[in-house]
Amino acid sequence: MARERKFSNEELFQTVKKMLLQHGYEGFHFGLLAEQLDISRGALYKYYENKDELITDFMLYEMQIFIGDLAQIENQGDFEAQFDFLMKLIFDKAEVHQLITVVKQMGSSSNEKAKENKEQLEKLPLEMYRYLQNFISFGKREGKLKEHIPDSVILGLIFQSIAIPNHFGLPKGVWVNSIKEIISKGMFAHS
């Protein structure tokens, strides 16, 4: 009944991700995207009214995958296993984190659908927080995590650790293990 599409949703979102990481929110535009997908700019308007609607839609997709993965933390057994799982997840999905800054750069957008998407997006951190809160409570309850450090600092530091630049190109294993060691036991030698 209809003509075949020249690009899949999967292709579209992958290209959007690449473009956003490369050019940031303000440098991202339909011309660039259309060129990468080898279609005309006009074709994109068949699916999205504007940039913000497309970006929020993409972010929703990306975040839902991330949360789906995160949900698996509950099946990981003891606290150490959960900690390892979380660190692995974060390092495997390093880009998700940089993408979050993109949403913050969006103004109050013109389009209705984009606003809806944005509202949806704002709910997701709460959903994430549920899993992470459980993880931390579990750790504290078991006496594995220091009681007196605020949960938000623990979470913040874990999440931020993915953004540390590996300038000297250390092998990933060494890299991740070093970061895990500092976060869990500190960089100071035992006195």
Partner DNA sequence: ATTTAAAGTAACACTTGTGTCACTATAAAA
Partner DNA sequence: TTTTATAGTGACACAAGTGTTACTTTAAAT
Q: What values do phi and psi take at 190, rounded to 5?
A: -70, 130
User: Among its own copies, DNA, none, what does residue 23 contact (CB within 5–8 Å per kind)?
Assistant: its own copies
Element containing residue 135 per DSSP (H, E): helix 112-141
For residue 13, what are the contacts with CB-CB under 8 A and spacing of at least 6?
58, 61, 62
Report what 173 binds from DNA, its own copies, none; CB cut-off 5-8 Å by kind.
Answer: none
From its own copies, DNA, none, interface partner of 6 (C-beta below 5 to 8 A by class): DNA
Tell which one of 5, 6, 27, 88 touches its own copies (CB under 8 A): 27
Residue 153 binding DNA, by CB under 7 A: no
- In sign, the C-alpha dihedral spanning 2, 57, 94, 131 is negative
Among DNA, its own copies, none, partner that 68 touches (CB below 5 to 8 angstroms by kind): none
Which of 63, 60, 58, 74 shows the shortest CA–CA distance to 20?
A: 58
Give the contact letters, 26-45, x = binds to DNA (CB under 7 A), - = no: ---xxxx------xxxxx-x
Residues 6+ positions from 183 with CB-CB distance below 8 Å: 157, 158, 161
Q: Which of residues 87-146 bind DNA (CB under 7 A)?
A: 110
User: What would the two tokens of residue 139 be?
Assistant: 């750790």
Of the residues 44, 54, 96, 179, which one makes contact with its own copies according to CB under 8 A: 179
For residue 38, the tally of other CB atoms under 10 A from its CB is: 8
Q: Indicate whether 6 belongs to the interface with DNA (CB under 7 A).
A: yes
Integer Cα distance of 41 and 78 in angstroms:
51
Tell me the angle at which helices 151-160 and 79-92 cross, rounded to the nearest 10 degrees.
40
Only one of the segments 12-20, 44-52, 58-66, 169-177 lies at the binding site for its own copies (rule: CB under 8 A); that segment is 169-177
The option from its own copies, DNA, none interacting with 7 (CB < 5 to 8 A, set by class) reads DNA
For DNA, the binding residues (CB under 7 A) are: 1-7, 29-32, 39-43, 45-46, 49-51, 110
For its own copies, the binding residues (CB under 8 A) are: 23-27, 105, 143-147, 149-150, 152-154, 156-157, 159-161, 163-168, 170, 174-175, 178-179, 181-189
